């Protein structure tokens, strides 16, 4: 008699591929998590093969699932962009206004407009988790990552919070770093060595670690954070920074934006706008870590897009999908701000979206790959607030040492997002 455990993995995939899409995979998720993950992956691949690349798009304080079909883009076939489901609604509540999103291995971290509360959600299994920050500041950056290679377990995930503000008592700019641990449901203050750098572009997650474009004085570089070792690192960009003495156009800053390729490699888009050079370059890392990186040139095109805030690359079609915002004439106060999405490649510049934008909102386009990670706490008992102190000996290099831990458990019960 053949047992289920005797089946080969290829045979399991063939059987699961025959299961109707209308079946309820969530019902047998608890029976076999491996089957559930394989089934979700098969559905995702079928969907992408039929409709094109799938993205998550932050647009006017809402988050949408979108697809862009790039088939025939090199044969004068216009690419088609379609909007799917909306992520920005919670059950039994009004629509959330989302300020920004951060994506990491199937999970989406959302910051709210006018609210300190964070929301972490998994669109694949509809789960949502609230996280309450310890303190409140006007300027902050958040990043989501995980330690080691255990991206399938929510207990390995952490949230990094970076706050930068002017301290009126000390009369200087102060930076604070905090780390939230999903396992302990608590924040820890990180003691980071004094620095003069500041983050200048959104961060992205690669293999559980986070990377930003940062600058110190006029020099740009990549700032990394290792969620396993809880330490910062510095990596070179694939181009040289141009100082203000070289400037020929003071109206625009240079473009430097990061993206992720296949959740494994880092990509950089750069334009020397202040040098009036009408060229866009994109590199993809051949190898990436928090200590070293090597680059390979992906695309060089004679085109200028102002205010590119996010992008993704399509290796198969050798194009980039670029999301930009702003006005055609920045000096015209009466002109409406717009969000534009363009397909850029060799002899290709195709506009697939161009609509008005809410003032002050920054769109964000990211790749999306479903993940079965469960993010809800297994225990729903109310926890009391407690504070403990931990100290560690400093290590060599730029360190981030945990000095304080505060447990914060929101009173509201977790609710679920509507799926895409």
Same domain, 28 and 79: no
**CATH classification at residue 355:** 2.120.10.30
Same domain, 151 and 43: no
Give residue 171's pLDDT band: very low, low, confident or very high (50, 70, 90): confident
Tens of pLDDT, residues 64-78: 889 999 988 888 899
Is residue 41 in some structural domain?
yes
Tens of pLDDT, residues 122-153: 888 788 889 998 877 667 889 999 987 656 67
Give residue 328's pLDDT band: very low, low, confident or very high (50, 70, 90): low
Same domain, 205 and 64: yes
Same domain, 44 and 54: no
Count: domains in the chain? 2
Same domain, 214 and 361: yes
Tens of pLDDT, residues 375-408: 865 444 444 444 444 444 444 444 444 444 445 4
Same domain, 30 and 102: no
Is residue 420 in some structural domain?
no
CA angle (213, 338, 97) in 5-degree steps: 75
Kindly tell me if the per-residue pLDDT of 39 is higher than 80: no
Same domain, 227 and 275: yes
Percent of the chain residues topping a pLDDT of 90: 33
Same domain, 178 and 44: no
Give residue 263's pLDDT band: very low, low, confident or very high (50, 70, 90): confident
Taking a C-beta distance cutoff of 8 angstroms, is the pair 346, 328 a contact?
A: no
Is residue 383 in some structural domain?
no
Q: Where in the sequence is the domain holding 20, given as residue range(s)?
A: 15-49
Same domain, 27 and 131: no
Is residue 395 in some structural domain?
no
3-state SS record for 43-70: HHHHHHHHHCEEEEEEECCEEEEEEEEC
Same domain, 43 and 101: no
Q: Which residue has the tokens 């809800």?
A: 376
Average pLDDT over residues 251-261: 83
Is residue 66 in some structural domain?
yes
Is residue 211 in some structural domain?
yes
Tens of pLDDT, residues 343-368: 999 999 999 999 988 877 889 999 98
Same domain, 231 and 91: yes
Rounded CA-CA distance 408/395 in Å is 29
Is residue 95 in some structural domain?
yes
Least confident of 10-14, 92-96, 315-319, 395-399: 395-399
Same domain, 211 and 306: yes
């Amino acid at each position: 008699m053949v047992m289920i455990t005797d089946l080969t993995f290829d045979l399991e995939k063939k059987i699961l591929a025959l299961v109707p899409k209308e079946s309820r995979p969530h019902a047998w998720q608890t029976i076999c998590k491996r089957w559930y993950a394989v089934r979700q992956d098969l559905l995702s691949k079928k969907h992408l093969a039929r409709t094109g690349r799938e993205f998550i798009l932050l647009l006017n304080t809402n988050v949408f699932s979108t697809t862009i079909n790039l088939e025939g883009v090199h044969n004068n076939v216009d690419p088609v962009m379609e909007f799917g489901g909306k992520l920005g609604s919670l059950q039994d509540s009004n629509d959330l206004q989302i300020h920004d999103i951060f994506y990491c291995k199937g999970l989406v971290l959302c910051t709210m407009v006018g609210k300190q509360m964070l929301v972490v959600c998994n669109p694949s299994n509809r789960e949502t988790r609230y996280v309450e920050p310890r303190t409140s500041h006007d300027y902050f950056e958040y990043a989501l990552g995980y330690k080691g290679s255990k991206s399938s377990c929510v207990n390995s995930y952490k949230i990094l919070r970076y706050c930068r503000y002017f301290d009126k008592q000390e009369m200087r700019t102060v930076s604070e770093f905090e780390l939230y641990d999903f396992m302990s449901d608590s924040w820890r203050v990180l003691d980071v060595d004094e620095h003069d750098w500041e983050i200048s572009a959104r961060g992205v997650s690669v293999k559980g670690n986070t990377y930003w474009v940062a600058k110190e004085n006029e020099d740009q570089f990549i700032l990394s954070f290792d969620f396993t070792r809880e330490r910062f690192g510095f990596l070179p960009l694939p181009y040289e920074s141009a100082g203000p003495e070289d400037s020929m156009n003071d109206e625009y800053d240079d473009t430097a934006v990061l993206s992720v390729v296949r959740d494994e490699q880092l990509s950089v888009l750069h334009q020397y706008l202040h040098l009036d050079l009408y060229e866009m370059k994109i590199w993809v890392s051949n190898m990436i870590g928090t200590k070293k990186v090597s680059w390979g040139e992906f695309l060089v095109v004679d085109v200028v897009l102002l205010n590119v805030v996010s992008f993704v690359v399509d290796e198969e079609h050798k194009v980039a999908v670029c999301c930009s915002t702003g006005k055609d004439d920045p000096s015209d106060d009466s002109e409406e701000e717009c969000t534009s999405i363009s397909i850029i490649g060799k002899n290709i510049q195709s506009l697939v979206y161009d609509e008005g934008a809410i003032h002050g909102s920054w769109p964000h386009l990211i790749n999306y790959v479903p993940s079965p990670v469960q993010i809800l706490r297994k225990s729903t008992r109310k926890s009391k607030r407690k504070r403990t102190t931990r100290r560690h000996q400093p290590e060599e290099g730029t360190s981030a040492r945990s000095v304080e831990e505060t447990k914060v458990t929101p009173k509201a019960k977790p609710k679920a997002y509507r799926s895409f």
